[in-house]
Structure 1
Amino acid sequence: MSLFSGLSAFPITPLTPEGQVITDDLARLVSRIEAGGADSVGLLGSTGTYMFISRAERRRAVAAAVEAAISIPVIAGVGAMRTDEAVALAKDAAAEGAAALLMAPVSYTPLLEEEVYRHFVAVASGTDLPLCIYSNPGTTKFTFTPALVSRLAAVPTIAAIKLPLPATDLSADLAAFRAAAPDLSIGYSGDWGCKDALLAGADCWFSVAGGLFPKTASALARAAMAGDRAEADRLDAAFAGLWELFRAYGGLRLVHEAARIKGLTTASLPLPLLGIDDALRERLISVLPE
């Protein structure tokens, strides 16, 4: 199985109120992901609140995760506003033993296509690690076109893309990117639609829920990738209530609270992000899978 395939499980990054990584809690989460059968750890993604964490603490997080993940690779997020910062983060991740990189085109002023292209080329050239394009237009306000992805696929170390679920036909979206970049691994985020993405032939499920429920998520990914729709549907049904809440409220606040409910950390979201209210917490408790 290639690096960017199967289930890539994304844990939260437990932080103190001062923004320091609680490495013991992070190691516990990573060990659970590995024991649950995930194929990789997606560290410092949006679920991992990477943009709220300093360079030094992001490096500490990579080191802790790599030490905890004995048999599966760690894919480290290196997104930053400035290109030089992202290059430095990539080099830090490589030095701490990350197996691959993940990067979104973070911005304040919306980026132009050529700016994104040059940004990715610079970061991809900064290390020998394979890099996964992180397309997250909901936060970055930038949409990757198949034409741009085709250009980026020619960069030797760019190996994969993490796509959001499309608003229309998923199979057509996958086919368009597959035609544009046939050598890239293509995966999706948006947990509620990833069963269908894998059944349609996507290579990877980049999963928020996998960071807390890796055993069931891993089984779901395996069934869908094997084309076993009945088993995939059965396993996906265990997440139905959680998918409903994710679609209504987003996963970030919910998964942090779920980690606290399960006793995996006492960490809260970094301010100014706030937790969920009591009513939503009770709804979340009622739908959490085993």
Structure 2
Amino acid sequence: MFTGLSAFPLTPLVKGEIDEQRFAALIESLAASGVNSIGALGSTGSYAYLTRKQRLAATTLAVRAAGEIPVMTSIGSVNADEVMRLAEDAQQAGVRGLLMAPLSYQPLTADEVFRLYERVTNELSVPLCIYDNPATSGFEFTDELLVALSHLHHIGSVKLGVFPADPVEAAARVARLKSTLAEGVTVGISGDGQAAAGLVAGCDVWYSVLAGLFPQVCLRLTQAAVRGDAEETGRLNRGLEPLWVYFRRHGSLRVIATVAELMGSVTAPCLPFPLQTLTGDARDALRTTLEQLPLNRV
């Protein structure tokens, strides 16, 4: 399941509770679009802000709504015992994969992160994707640690959040990882603005925020990159650059949530308090930008 396009939808909230009807509608539309997998309760899905009960409810609903499309869900928590409980809940709900970033209030060492993944993977029955997201977790993986972790039981993919801007360096890093990671472990790219570069450099999967609302254009970009059509990949990516500017300026979660509100896909406000979507001039400018972009609504 860790190849192609993995779409990460929002978990729309109403007064702190999951809007189950709209959440199910998002998942059903993604499944109908033909994405390769659905990352329910990723960072875009606000997993870290939800209770265990809410996370189980959302995961169960996502698996049911996705049909044959495989679903993975995040099990990250600052409490290791809670991580184990979340993993068990998710597996009981029927997920086909799990995603975990090493969350902690105190900065973690590489040895502590290794031990965390070792403990978790020893108890799993489905594959786990390692989530390298230093912007939110505060921990940045070295390639050496990623390689060591890849040899643990049930590691299925590595989701890269930090990626070289230079194309030669990017291709070299992906090639190096692919030659040293355990057999069968895929290399994925996140951070939508660098996704095209990651796919062209040889990444196996795009873990995409934008695909959670606009899977069609993301599928076209992914498929162009996979078949080696660098010209088409670049053309599609350039068309999305105005949106990547907003992602870089405001963060992808706030931007995609604002887009969903503007489209009427969710009820405003949809983010967990105290997070807020864009307001004022920034919201108006984003609305104008959306009207000019080559996007197809879910």
Q: TM-score, with normalisation over the residues of structure 2?
A: 0.93
Alpha-carbon shift at residue 72 of structure 1 (Å)? 0.8
Deviations 1:256-282 (A, max 9, x none): 111111111105211111221221111
How far 1:167 sits from its partner (Å)? 4.4
Provide the residue aligned with 1:226 in structure 2. 227
Identity of aligned residues (%): 39
Aligned-residue RMSD, C-alpha: 1.3
Q: Residue 122 of structure 1 aligns to a residue in which SS?
A: helix
Name the structure 2 match of 1:135: 132
What's the counterpart of residue 55 of structure 2? 58
SS at match of 2:13: coil
Q: Which residue of 1, 4, 20 corresponds with 1:23?
A: 20
Deviates more, 1:102-111 or 1:117-126: 117-126
Aligned 1:159-238 pairs, distance under 5 A = 159-168=156-165, 169-183=169-183, 184-238=185-239
Name the residue aligned to 2:11.
13
Q: CA deviation at 1:66?
A: 0.5
Distance (whole Å) between structure 2 residues aligned to residue 96 and residue 194 of structure 1: 30
Q: What CA distance in whole angstroms lies between the structure 2 residues aligned with 1:52 and 1:22?
A: 15
Asked if 2 retains the 8 angstrom alpha-carbon contact of 1:165 and 1:193, the reply is no
**1-side partners of 2:134 and 2:177: how far apart?**
16
Which deviates the most, 54-63 or 170-179? 170-179
CA distance in 1, matches of 2:164, 2:78: 27
Equivalent-residue separation in structure 2 for 1:86 and 1:273 (angstroms): 24
Q: Secondary structure at the match of 2:222?
A: helix
- Tell me the equivalent position of 2:274: 272
What is the letter of the counterpart of residue 33 of structure 1? L
- Displacement of 1:165: 3.6
Letter in 2 for 1:283: A
- Deviation string, structure 1 residues 166-210 (Cα, Å, up to 9, x no partner): 244322332332233152200010111111211111100000000
2:254: which partner in 1?
253
Deviations 1:68-108 (A, max 9, x none): 10121001111010111111101100000111000000111
Partner of 1:153: 150
Matching residue of 1:76: 73
Q: Secondary structure in 2 aligned to 1:45?
A: coil
Aligned AA for 2:179?
A: A
Distance in 1 (alpha carbons) for counterparts of 2:212 and 2:82: 27
Instruction: Answer yes or no: is the 8 Å Cα contact 1:31–1:69 preserved in 2.
Output: yes
Distance in structure 2 (CA, Å) of the matches to 1:286 and 1:200: 32
Q: Verify the 8 A CA contact 2:175 2:202 in the aligned structure 1.
A: no
In the TM superposition, residue 8 of structure 1 has moved relative to its aligned partner by 0.4
Task: Answer yes or no: is the 8 Å Cα contact 1:7–1:204 preserved in 2.
Answer: yes
Instruction: Measure the CA separation in 2 of the matches of 1:285 and 1:191.
Output: 19
Measured against aligned partners, the alpha-carbon deviations of 1:218-263 in whole angstroms (never above 9, x if no partner) come to 1111111111112222322331211111112210111111111111
The answer as to whether partners of 2:133 and 2:162 remain within 8 angstroms in 1 is no
**Structure 1 residue matching 2:14: 3-state secondary structure:** coil
TM-score by length of 1: 0.95
Range moving further from structure 2, 161-170 or 22-31: 161-170
Corresponding residue for 1:104? 101
Does the CA-based 8 Å contact 1:137-1:143 persist in structure 2? Answer: yes
Whether the aligned pair in 2 keeps the contact of 1:15 and 1:270 (CA below 8 Å) is: yes
Unaligned segments of structure 1, at least 5 residues: none
Q: How many residues align?
A: 287
State which drifts further: 120-129 or 171-180. Answer: 171-180
SS at match of 1:159: strand
Give 1:63 shift.
Answer: 0.6
- CA distance in 2: counterparts of 1:135 and 1:223, whole angstroms: 25
